[in-house]
């Protein structure tokens, strides 16, 4: 940090304390060259997570859009708003490893995986929009896949091998 009085960059921090919950830190510094004191404020610079769409457009991540899509898929289903918010929170937690950009398909796949565990009808609804089903055959193929996974998970041998980590 450069001293505002003499321009030297050699200083010592005398006191440091957080200002508020916004992540601002106030530091009192002493210039080792001219012995004058000055105050600096440090603020975490947050970089917005950018979503890379399928057509290579980029837009800032918007929690409300994800929540709205999940809400629409869960419409008239026995799923509480609290469960939907927990799902969105869980997807956002999974996104923390991405620093600047994330493909929209990753967000969609994470939401689909979590919806699959909650409600299969909501899962198919979300998949129909997310995967852009163009005809009834696309729906039927997804339902067949869903049914096949469900049958496998009910098979005791498959469940035992899954638990054993095989």
Q: CA–CA separation, 30 vs 10, rounded Å?
A: 9
Residue with the bigger pLDDT between 164 and 110: it is 110
- Quick one: pLDDT at residue 134? 76
- Quick one: pLDDT at residue 135? 79
Q: Using 50, 70 and 90 to split pLDDT, how confident is the model at 160? A: very low
pLDDT tops 60 at residue 165:
no
Total count of residues recorded for the chain: 166
Q: CA–CA separation, 32 vs 38, rounded Å?
A: 12
Q: Which tens digits make up the pLDDT trace of 99-157?
A: 899 999 999 999 999 999 999 999 999 988 887 777 788 878 888 888 888 787 776 55
Q: Which residues contact 96 (CB under 8 A, 6 or more apart)?
A: none
- Quick one: pLDDT at residue 43? 82
Residue with the bigger pLDDT between 24 and 158: it is 24
- Quick one: pLDDT at residue 163? 40
Q: Which tens digits make up the pLDDT trace of 23-45?
A: 789 999 999 999 999 999 888 77
**Hey, where are the domains in the chain?**
11-43, 50-155
């Amino acid at each position: 940090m450069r001293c505002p009085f003499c321009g030297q960059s050699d200083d010592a921090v005398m006191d440091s304390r957080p200002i508020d919950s916004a992540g601002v830190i106030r530091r009192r510094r002493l210039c080792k060259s001219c012995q004058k004191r000055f105050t600096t404020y440090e603020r975490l610079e947050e970089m917005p997570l950018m979503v890379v769409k399928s057509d290579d457009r980029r837009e800032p991540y918007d929690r409300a859009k994800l929540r709205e899509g999940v809400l629409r898929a869960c419409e008239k289903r026995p799923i509480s708003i609290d469960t939907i918010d927990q799902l969105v929170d869980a997807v956002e937690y999974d996104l923390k490893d991405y620093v600047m950009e994330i493909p929209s398909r990753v967000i969609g796949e994470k939401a689909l995986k979590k919806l699959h565990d909650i409600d299969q009808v909501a899962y198919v609804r979300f998949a129909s929009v997310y995967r852009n089903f163009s005809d009834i055959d696309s729906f039927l193929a997804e339902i067949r896949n869903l049914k096949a996974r469900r049958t496998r998970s009910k098979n005791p041998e498959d469940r035992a091998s899954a638990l054993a980590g095989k």
